[in-house]
Amino acid sequence: MDIALETEALDVRYGQIQAVRSINLVVPKACITALLGANGAGKTSTVMAIAGVVPNVSGKVSIFGQDMTGATPDTIIRAGVAITPEGRRIFASLSVEENLILAGAATTKSTTSAERRAMMMERFPILGERRRQLAGLLSGGEQQMLAVARALMSGPRLILMDEPSLGLAPQMVDTMFAIIEELRAEGISILLVEQNASLALEIADHAVVLANGKVAAAGTPSEIVGQDILKSAYLAA
Amino acid sequence: MDIWLQQFINALSLGGIYAMLALGLAIVFSIARLINFAHGEIMTFGGYGIFLSMALDFPILVTLTVGIAAAVVMALMMERVAFRAMRGASIISLLITSLAVSEILKVLFQNFISPRPVPISFPSLWSGSYQIGEMTIGVAPTVSIIVTISALGGLTFFLRHTATGMSMRAAAEDFEMLRLLGVRANRIIAVSFALSGLLAGIAAVIWTAQRGSVDPMMGTFPVLKAFIATVLGGLGSLNGAVLGGFVVGILEVLAQAFLLDSLAPYRDAIVLSIVIILLLIRPDGLLPARDGTRS
C-alpha cells in the first residue's frame, strides 16, 4: 500500500491540556480516509499538527515518505499538502480572484498559477461568475468551494479537509461530497475530518475514530459502521 | 481666501507626513500585532542617512535614496534582531521590546553621532516659492504633498494589485491561514517592516528638508502624533491611519494659524482634546478595521 501520510505516536499539547495522545494514523494514496469523532476528540488538533501550525507537537509525521516532524507549514505545503480548514477561513475582505491569486503565488510560478486559476473558474463556474466579489459576501457553500479551489492552487497530492460540510445546506453537502470523490478519482489523497459520520463513511475507503484524543477504532467503513465504538466515541465527549 | 488656501496646503503637507508614519505603524500592527514605539528611530536613522550623504557631497538624488534606504534597512534590522525572537509574544511584551529598542537607538545616536542637532542644507530651490495669481506658495509644501500622494498611491497600488500586496491584506485578516497556503511568515513580516521603513524614510526626507537638521529625538514627536492618528483612525486599519494622519495634521495647522496668541502654548492640548472628543463619539476610530476581531 502506497502511503501519503503517516503519523506515529503524535501528541499535541496546548499548555497543560493534551489534545491528542499518541495517535497512529495512515492515509493511503488516492484514498479518502475519514477521521471521525465528537467535538473535542482531537480531530482539528491532529490536522493542524500535521499542517505544522501547532507549536507543541511530539511524535513523527511523514508525508509521501519524507520525515516532516517539526517542519514549518511552508515546507509541508511544498511537499504537496493542502488544507481546507474548519470554518473555511477564506479571506473575506479580498475578492474571490484575489484569494486564488495569493494562494497560487505562494507556491507556483505566475504562469502556472494563472492556468490553474482559469481551471478553477471552469471547474467551479460560480466562482468564475463572482470573481470580483468580496469572498465574505459568498454563501457558505460558495465559500467552501472557494476554500477547495484555493487549496487546489498549489497542485496538492494530499488534502486535509476539516469539516467541509459544516453549516451547509443539504444539497450543497451532496455537491461537496461529490467534489471530494472527484478529487480522489484524480488521484489526490484525502484526510476527511467529519462530524457527519454516516455521510463520511459512505464515501470513505478507510476510517479512524478518535475519542478523547486517542484512536478508538480504525478500519474500513463496513468494519466501523454500526459498531458500538462509533456511537460511544460520539457520546464520550 | 488667500490665507485659507495657504493654510490648507500647510495642513495637507503636515498631515501627509503624519499619514505616512501612521500608515507604517498600521501596516506593521495589522500583520505582526506589534505597536512599534521604535518607529520614530527608523525615521531619525533615515535623517542621519541624509546627513551622512550630504557630508560626503553625494548628488541630491543619491542623498535622498540613501536616506530612504537607511530607514528601510533600519526597519528590517529591527525586525531581524529584536522582534523576530519575540514573535508570538503577547502584545504587551512586544510593546515593551519596541520601547527598549527605541531607547537603545536614541542612546546610540547620542553617543556615536551627536546629542545635538546636525545641520542638513537642502538646495536653495527647495526653500523658494512660486506665484499662482495672487498667491505665494512654497516649493517645500508643494513637493511634500506631491511626494506623499505618490507614496500613498504607490502603496495602494501595491496592496491592491500585486500578489504580495494581497498576501499582506490577507495576513492582516488571518495570518495562520496564509501560512497554511505555504506563504513564508518571515517574508510577509519582513515586507511589512520594509514598507513601514520606506514610508518613514520618505517622511524623514520631507521632515529634514523642512527643519534643516537632524537630532536623536527627531522622529519622536511626529511619530507620537502618528500614534494618535492610528488610534483616531482605528487601530489596525490602514485607511483609518491615513485619514487619522490628515485629521491630526489639519487640526494642528488650524490651531497654529487661528488660535489667539495667548492660547498658543495650549495648541497640542487643544488638538488632543478634539481627538478625545472624536474618540468618545467613535470609540473604534473613524474608519475601524473591517475584521471584528481586531482589538
Q: What would the DSSP string read from start to end of A42-101? A: SHHHHHHHHHT--SEEEEEEEETTEE-TT--HHHHHHTTEEEE-TT----TTSBHHHHHH
Which among A58, A49, A43 is positioned nearest to A211, based on CA atoms? A43
| Polymer length of chain A | 237
pLDDT tens-digit map of A102-149: 999 999 999 999 999 999 999 999 999 999 999 999 999 999 999 999
DSSP string for A173-206: HHHHHHHHHHHHHTT-EEEEEES-HHHHHHH-SE
Q: What is the CATH number of the domain that holds A10?
A: 3.40.50.300
Average pLDDT over residues A81-91: 96
Which among B80, B65, B292, B26 is positioned nearest to A136, based on CA atoms? B292
- A and B: number of Cβ contacts within 8 A: 70
φ, ψ for residue A173, nearest 5 deg: -60, -45
Min CA distance, A91 vs chain B (Å)? 6
Average pLDDT over residues A189-199: 92
Chain B positions touching chain A (beta carbons under 8 Å): 163-164, 166-167, 169-170, 173-174, 176-185, 290-291
Tell me the torsion sign for CA atoms B188, B191, B197, B202: negative
Assess if residue A172 is contained within a domain: yes
Min CA distance, A47 vs chain B (Å)? 11
Contacting residues of B for A89, CB less than 8 Å apart? 174, 177
Assess if residue A56 is contained within a domain: yes
Assess if residue B287 is contained within a domain: no
Min CA distance, A78 vs chain B (Å)? 7
Q: Which three cell numbers stand for residue A194?
A: 467529519
Whole-prediction pTM value?
0.91
What local confidence, expressed as pLDDT, does residue B218 receive?
A: 95
Contacting residues of B for A101, CB less than 8 Å apart? 163, 166
**Three-state SS for A157?**
coil
How many other C-beta atoms can be found within 10 angstroms of the C-beta atom of residue A187?
9
Give the nearest partner residue to A91 out of B170, B179, B184, using CB atoms: B170
Query: Residue B10's domain spans which residues?
Result: 2-218
Q: What is the Cα–Cα distance from A98 to A133, expressed in whole angstroms?
A: 10
Contacting residues of B for A73, CB less than 8 Å apart? 179-180, 182
What local confidence, expressed as pLDDT, does residue A235 receive?
A: 61
Instruction: Identify the residue whose cell numbers are 451532496.
Output: A174
Nearest CA in chain A to B170: A91
Q: What is the Cα–Cα distance from B137 to B295, expressed in whole angstroms?
A: 42
Assess if residue B16 is contained within a domain: yes
Assess if residue A85 is contained within a domain: yes
Q: What is the Cα–Cα distance from B51 to B120, expressed in whole angstroms?
A: 6
Query: Residue A75's domain spans which residues?
Result: 3-96+156-236
CA dihedral angle for residue B7, residue B9, residue B13, residue B18, rounded to 10 degrees? 60
Nearest CA in chain A to B167: A102
Nearest CA in chain A to B180: A73
Beta bridge partners of A25: A7
End-to-end CA distance of chain B: 43
Q: What is the Cα–Cα distance from A15 to A211, expressed in whole angstroms?
A: 20
Min CA distance, B183 vs chain A (Å)? 5
Assess if residue B290 is contained within a domain: no
What local confidence, expressed as pLDDT, does residue B260 receive?
A: 82
Assess if residue B9 is contained within a domain: yes
Assess if residue B270 is contained within a domain: no
Give the nearest partner residue to B181 out of A72, A110, A150, using CB atoms: A150
| Helix runs in A108-139, H state only | 110-123, 125-129
Contact criterion met (CB < 8 Å) for A98 and B166: yes
Contacting residues of B for A72, CB less than 8 Å apart? 179, 184-185
Min CA distance, A235 vs chain B (Å)? 31
Mutate to test the interface with A, among B31, B181, B184, B239 (most CBs of A within 10 A): B181
Is the separation of the CB atoms in B208 and B47 below 8 Å? yes
Q: What is the Cα–Cα distance from B110 to B117, expressed in whole angstroms?
A: 10
Number of domains chain A is built from: 1
Assess if residue A104 is contained within a domain: no
Residues of chain B predicted below pLDDT 70: 1, 290-295
Contact criterion met (CB < 8 Å) for B182 and A78: yes
Contacting residues of A for B158, CB less than 8 Å apart? none
Q: What is the Cα–Cα distance from A32 to B254, expressed in whole angstroms?
A: 67
Contact criterion met (CB < 8 Å) for B183 and A74: yes
Assess if residue A121 is contained within a domain: no
Assess if residue A64 is contained within a domain: yes
**In terms of pLDDT, which residue wins out, A220 or B136?**
A220
Q: What is the Cα–Cα distance from B173 to A94, expressed in whole angstroms?
A: 10
Number of domains chain B is built from: 1
What local confidence, expressed as pLDDT, does residue B131 receive?
A: 82
Mutate to test the interface with A, among B180, B238, B293 (most CBs of A within 10 A): B180
What local confidence, expressed as pLDDT, does residue B167 receive?
A: 96
Give the nearest partner residue to B163 out of A72, A93, A101, using CB atoms: A101
Contacting residues of B for A51, CB less than 8 Å apart? 180
Contact criterion met (CB < 8 Å) for A102 and B170: yes
Give the nearest partner residue to B163 out of A92, A102, A154, using CB atoms: A102
Assess if residue A143 is contained within a domain: no
Q: For residue B235, count CB atoms less than 10 angstroms from its CB and return exposed for 0-12, middle for 13-18, buried for 19 or more.
A: buried
Assess if residue B52 is contained within a domain: yes
What local confidence, expressed as pLDDT, does residue A224 receive?
A: 86
**Three-state SS for B138?**
strand
